[in-house]
Chain A
Amino acid sequence: EAQVTQNPRYLITVTGKKLTVTCSQNMNHEYMSWYRQDPGLGLRQIYYSMNVEVTDKGDVPEGYKVSRKEKRNFPLILESPSPNQTSLYFCASSPLAGAGNEQFFGPGTRLTVL
């Protein structure tokens, strides 16, 4: 089944404890992206990747890191999480970069930082 998977789905952590949210797609998509969803703000793009080893900042990159070492994986790293990073996170992928295609979203990861 074609899909985008994220792990974990739920995570409660404490301020300053490094964490990684994994994202994987099995559709051989070129483009991948991370978003956070907050009440009243909709989805805001954190980082995106046009291909392996090619990433760029979205609108809210502060406090996050990403890497794209393989085409299928695009992990989101919070090196020192803070309570303002409590949010619902979505990973998405799209067949091509630079084409404004529809995105396929993962199921979401609900992160709480205490």
Chain B
Amino acid sequence: AQKVTQAQTEISVVEKEDVTLDCVYETRDTTYYLFWYKQPPSGELVFLIRRNSFDEQNEISGRYSWNFQKSTSSFNFTITASQVVDSAVYFCALSDKVYNFNKFYFGSGTKLNVKP
């Protein structure tokens, strides 16, 4: 069965600290996509990144970076030099080939509080 686990329910950091949000996924398929979404206090869901299972290269986008490790079934998200505007709930998600990439499985989310 497919499953996404975000064990960190809530994290609090002080501005400028680095923070890593963990995501562990389960799937029997070898072909899948992983995603991260951000939900700021205003409530909308914003796409951050999509990674396919064949691309294990880490990705960096400004202060954001993602570490994909198939060996540990993890797709962790790091924010460097966090800012108050990073305060949000972050969701990790998975879609695999079993349902032709039409079903999506989300984790329970990690709430990040960045204090000034």
Interface size on A, residues (CB 8 A): 28
Chain B: number of interface residues, binned into ranges: 20 to 34
Q: Which of B41-49, B55-63, B65-73, B74-82 contacts A (4 or more CB under 8 A)?
A: B41-49
- What A residues does B105 contact at CB under 8 A? 45, 59
Contact with B along A6-25 (1 / 0, CB 8 A): 00000000000000000000
Q: Would you give the 0/1 interface string for B17-32, flagging 1 where the beta carbon is closer than 8 Å to chain A?
A: 0000000000000001
* Minimum CB distance partner of B48 in chain A: A102
Top 10 closest A-B pairs, CB basis? A100-B101, A100-B33, A105-B45, A43-B106, A42-B108, A102-B47, A42-B106, A98-B100, A100-B95, A42-B109
5 contacts between A and B (CB under 8 A): A33-B104, A42-B6, A45-B103, A102-B47, A105-B44
